């Protein structure tokens, strides 16, 4: 129903009163509550009248990204907007999608959307992510990515084709870079099988990693 969910361009009537009760339950100071309503209404307008219960995780995140890129929205206002939307989905709507959104990340990030975060990173091509890590990083792993860019891009592309989760993709990419460091910067295509055995043994003997990590 329209009033019970806020389905429309603004939150009003019974839905607004219910949302204010949610703000009270979340211990939002009374003087801040009107501003939370304003932020939430901004979000609702951005959904273009869509039923909030029909919004998926990616749609919600895309809307947050669009707000994060607005120059007229200060960092604290963006954080307030994220918190207002979180309370809307978790308390007022009790929506299943609320558990799939990383609210703490979005609130802390203010307006700086991190391209390495799993919610947005796969919008970038593998070669773009590798080059970004080179620019932002330092040390041996950054050097490996720079020297073996083509190989690592091929590896990440293959991981994506297999449908692995983004976090798994990143962990595997890092282990490949560590392996190349172990090989003294030599490409795995040239290092041979003995290097593989040596690296896996080194993990257990010197680095005390678990059996699951070695696997």
Residue 84 is inside which H or E element, if any?
Answer: helix 75-87
Question: By C-alpha distance, which of 49, 106, 120 is closest to 78?
Answer: 106
How far is residue 156's CA from residue 125's CA, in Å, rounded to a whole number?
A: 10
94: left (phi over 0), alpha (psi -120 to 50) or beta: left
Contacts of 186 (CB under 8 A, 6+ apart): 180, 195
Confidence at residue 5, expressed as pLDDT on a 0 to 100 scale: 45
pLDDT of res. 6: 46
Q: What's the pLDDT score for residue 137?
A: 78
Q: What is the pLDDT of residue 34?
A: 96
Instruction: Tell me which residue of 35, 132, 16 sits closest to 84, measured CA to CA.
Output: 35
Output the pLDDT for position 121. 61
Contact 14, 5 (CB under 8 A): no
Which pLDDT score, from 0 to 100, does residue 84 have?
96
> According to the model, what pLDDT value does residue 113 have?
53
Q: What is the pLDDT of residue 19?
A: 96
Q: Which two tokens stand for residue 135?
A: 């620019």
Which two structure tokens, joined as six digits, stand for 69? 């890129």
Q: What is the pTM assigned to this prediction?
A: 0.54
**Domains recognised in the chain with CATH numbers:** 2-109 (1.10.150), 124-214 (1.10.150)
List average pLDDT for each run of 10 residues in the chain, which is 215 residues long.
Answer: 50 92 95 96 93 90 84 85 95 92 74 56 75 82 91 88 79 90 90 89 75 71
Torsion 156-160-162-165 (CA) sign: positive
How far apart are the C-alpha atoms of 136 and 73, rounded to whole Å?
26
Predicted local confidence at residue 91, as pLDDT: 95
Residue length of the chain: 215
What's the pLDDT score for residue 138? 76
């Amino acid at each position: 129903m329209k009033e019970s969910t806020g389905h429309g361009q603004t939150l009003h009537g019974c839905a607004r009163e219910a949302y204010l009760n949610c703000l009270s339950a979340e211990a939002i100071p009374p003087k801040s509550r009107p501003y939370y309503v304003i932020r939430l209404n901004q979000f609702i307008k951005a959904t273009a009248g869509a039923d909030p219960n029909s919004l998926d995780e990616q749609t919600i995140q895309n809307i947050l990204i669009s707000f994060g890129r607005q120059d007229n929205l200060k960092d604290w206002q963006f954080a307030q907007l994220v918190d207002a939307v979180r309370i809307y989905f978790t308390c007022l709507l009790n929506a299943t999608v609320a558990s799939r959104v990383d609210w703490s990340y979005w609130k802390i990030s203010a307006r700086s959307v991190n391209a390495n975060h799993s919610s947005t990173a796969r919008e970038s091509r593998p070669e773009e992510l590798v080059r970004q890590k080179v620019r932002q990083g330092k040390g041996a792993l950054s050097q490996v990515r720079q020297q073996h860019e083509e190989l690592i891009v091929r590896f990440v592309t293959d991981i994506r084709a297999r449908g692995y989760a983004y976090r798994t993709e990143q962990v595997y990419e890092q282990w490949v870079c560590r392996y190349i460091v172990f090989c003294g910067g030599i490409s795995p295509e040239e290092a041979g099988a003995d290097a593989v055995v040596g690296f896996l043994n080194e993990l257990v003997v010197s680095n005390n990693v678990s059996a699951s990590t070695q696997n």
